[in-house]
Structure 1
Amino acid sequence: MTRLLIVDDSPLMRRLLGGIFTAEGDFEIAFARNGIEALEQLTAFKPDVITLDVNMPEMDGLTCLDRIMLERPCPVVMVSSLTEAGASTTLEAFELGAVDFITKPDRAISLEIDTLAPKIVGTVRAASRARLPSSLRLAERVRLRSGLEYRPHSALPRLPATEALPRRQIKFAPAHGVVLIGASTGGPPALDTVLSQLPARFPWPVVVAQHMPSSFTGPLARRLDKLCALTVIEVAHPMPLAPGYIYIGRGDADVIIGNRPNGPLVLAAPSLPEHRWHPSVDRLVDSAMQHFAAERLLGVLMTGMGSDGAEAMTRLKGEGGRTIAEAEESAVVWGMPGELVRRGGAQVIAPLERIADQIMGMVGRS
């Protein structure tokens, strides 16, 4: 049995979520009405996974998450609204250690919950199997257990950008290749780690397909732009594909590479039903292979459940392109990169903290 703690101040939401997981038959469920009760359940119930609402009285979701990750780390799925404010809060939750999120219906919850139930269950099941890095906020945990001063999440230092040169002073030659990155569950903090290490003079553009709703990818791009030496933008309309930029595919659509007489471009395309997840990593890689020689492409597949990207990146490697799969030891969910490895499509398997070095080494030899 999987021990699930549902934390929500809404009696209706607790009842609906409880009903979904009770019907599954393999969940033992406990409830908490706010963050204070949730922290009490950490030791009393010892959950394997937690769903955590953001807006609650007495102790909000972010403050509670902060304490969970310091006192008894376990996989947490945030319950978020599909608003820009909800997206920004969820991204902050990822920084604190949350594994994934589910979205609240924007209409009558009781009318939509049956439709959303399979995705909710799938997300929580995947999260329950997620591995949290043993180093996650280790220094803070040591300080807390040693009785030293505790700093709440709002006081934590932000990750500085790498080689943050004034962007207007940097001049680039035309793009000779493209880095293609795919990620899903656990992806935002993984992107933080990898993209923040790329230097301002990195010679290839980077295109990212991160499975997310459209209301989340804009805030994700803006957040990454503050961390990275390269300029990070969301692909909401066709734009030139140029070095010096990291392009984040818009959610609920696909991000693809095309071509015009004056050069390659990146654009958002309506999602296709044959691809389950969006932005689709497979479709991104396939589109890039139509306009660039395989040896001018580098595919990177990071944490996420499912297999999106594995098929196309295996073909890319077979045609002479280069590929990197995140190692199982660092992936929150080793689904997508694991499938790439199983298919023989990974040229390099690297832990998260070494992926940026691998990218720079491969592009530097081009």
Structure 2
Amino acid sequence: MVGSPRAVVADDSHFMRSVISDILEEGGIDVVAQAKHGREAVEAVAETGPDVVTMDVEMPEMDGIEATERIMATRPTPILMLSAHTDEDADVTFEALEKGAVDFFRKPGGEVSMEMSRLQDQLVEVVGSVAAVDPTDTSDVASARTAGSGVDTGGAGADGTAGTGTSDPDTAATAYVDNPTVVVGSSTGGPTVVEQVLSDLPLAADLRVLVVQHMPSGFTGRFAERLDARSEYDVREAEDGARIGGGEALIAAGDYHMEVTGYRRGRLRIGLTQDPPVNNVRPAVDVTMETAAERVTDPLAGVILTGMGEDGAAGIRAIHEAGGYTVAQDEATSAVFGMPKRAIETGCVDGVAPVNDVAAAVLDAFEVT
């Protein structure tokens, strides 16, 4: 992309279109068109060829889901969904991500202008990050995901090189270490990737799984429900004091850090805090990884997936120094290669793998040889 990103802003509210457009313009993003419903958004993308679209979820004539699907079919363009804080909008937002949207941003409520002003720097940063995504690569990843994982993928080995891979990691002949734990961190472009990784983890591995996905409150509960339906694991949103054992997974609750506060006989105890943001985010991957590295005494792995920023780099270092195994998603399949890149730059990443190989890489580390 050369010069300032060019954006189309789609929202059925004239006021919100104006507020969002003003914020983006002030942040150095050129708003080339506005649309009051999905049909206009599709037309505006065809006419102006923008670098990014901010797409309202609920709009008349054509909603954000259908508009996203049509744009991805006719002129693939990075799309950021703007979603209200409701259960219905949360469900629709995840559906839009399945259709090819890169990420979402929670629309402000109440005193809209005041809250949006508070969030303006974050919105500009996210829109700029989404604009840099190659939507063709994202589509390729989605195609690989829906094709299934029964392919010899060759995950990264413990020495950082490509592993041998396996056509079906969940085989009767495979034996795993006792009481393994994996901590997964992700941000921009992450929800569908996290879904891919968890769906590839067999129950036979008896993992304890902790997931930190940068996501606002009001969405993580629905996210956990979706992962529970698509994974062999029992997945739920984390609550303060929660405990999990093998075959269970917790998703960090929006706006709360998730700490590992205790570990005994293969069971993790979790605490939630609203301590200040770390790396400008809450929940922060570093918090969960560092506390896991401090308290988990059985085999441990850390995984960093797509996302902007540096959250997770310190956590990966902590897991590595505690003797754990670490994996980062590769650049080719990352919507945004910020977090994986920062993790790799620590020198503490054992393997770098495309998204379809991440689960296999983790399983390789936990196999009994």
Shorter-chain TM-score category? Answer: 0.7 to 0.9
Q: 1:41-80 counterparts in 2 under 5 A?
A: 41-80=44-83
**8 A contact 2:307–2:339 mirrored in 1:** yes
**How does 1:11-50 map onto structure 2 within 5 Å?**
11-50=14-53
Gaps of 5+ in 1: 141-156, 166-172
Higher mean C-alpha displacement, 28-37 vs 218-227: 28-37
Matched-pair contact (CA < 8 Å) for 1:131–1:331: no
Q: Deviations over 1:144-199 (max 9, x none)?
A: xxxxxxxxxxxxx9989xx9x9xxxxxxx996231010001111100111111111
Structure 1 residues 139 and 325: alpha-carbon distance in aligned structure 2, compared to 1, 3 A threshold = closer
Partner of 1:188: 191
Aligned-residue offset at 1:200: 2.1
Write out the 4+ residue segments of structure 1 that deviate beyond 3 Å after TM superposition.
Answer: 137-140, 157-160, 260-264
Shift of the 200–296 alpha-carbon distance from structure 1 to 2, 3 Å rule, reads closer
1:356 aligns with 2:362: no
Distance 2:50 2:213 in 1: 28
Are 1:106 and 2:109 an aligned pair? yes
- Residue 16 of structure 1 aligns with an amino acid whose one-letter code is V
> For the Cα contact (< 8 Å) 2:32–2:48, is it kept in 1?
no
Matched, 1:342 2:339: no
Q: 1:283 matched to which residue of 2?
A: 287
2:232 aligned with 1:203, yes or no? no
Matched, 1:244 2:210: no
* C-alpha displacement of 1:278: 2.0
Choose which of 79, 87, 102 in structure 1 pairs with 2:90: 87
Displacement, 1:261?
Answer: 6.5
Equivalent residues, number: 342
1:331 paired with 2:334, answer yes
What one-letter code is carried by the residue in structure 2 that aligns with 1:110?
A: S
1:306-346 CA distances to partner (integer Å, 9 max, x unpaired)? Answer: 11111121232134221000000100111111101112121
1:67 match: secondary structure = helix
Gaps (5+ residues) in structure 2? 150-167, 171-175
Q: Is the 8 A contact 2:327 2:349 kept in 1?
A: yes
- 3-state secondary structure, aligned to 1:214: coil
Relative to 1, partners in 2 of residues 1:25 and 1:223: Cα closer, same or farther, differing over 3 Å? closer
State the shift of 1:137 in Å. Answer: 6.7
List per-residue Cα deviations over 1:30-70 (Å, max 9, x = no partner).
11111111111122100100000011111111110111111
Return the offset for 1:268: 3.9
Letter in 2 for 1:198: L
CA contact (8 A) 2:263 2:295 kept: no
Q: Is the 2:328–2:340 contact (alpha carbons within 8 Å) kept by the matching residues of 1?
A: yes
Deviation at 1:254, TM superposition (A): 1.3
Q: Aligned residue for 1:255?
A: 258
Instruction: Measure how far apart 1:139 and its partner are.
Output: 10
The equivalent of 1:232 in structure 2 is 235
Per-residue Cα deviation, 1:110-138 (whole angstroms, up to 9, x for no partner): 23221111111111011011233537279
Q: Distance in 2 between matches of 1:304 and 1:138?
A: 15
How far residue 108 of structure 1 moved from its aligned partner, in angstroms, is 2.3
Q: 1:214 to 1:158 in 2, by over 3 A?
A: farther
* Closer, same or farther: CA 119–274 of 1 in aligned 2, 3 Å: closer
Tell me which of the two structures has the higher relative contact order, counting C-alpha pairs closer than 8 angstroms and 6 or more residues apart: 2
Q: Cα RMSD between the aligned structures?
A: 2.7
| Distance in 2 (alpha carbons) for counterparts of 1:178 and 1:234 | 17
- Residue identity matched to 1:70: A
Q: What is residue 306 of structure 1 aligned with on the other side?
A: 309
Deviation of 1:237 after TM superposition, in Å, equals: 3.3
Comparing 328-337 with 266-275, which one deviates more in the overlay? 266-275
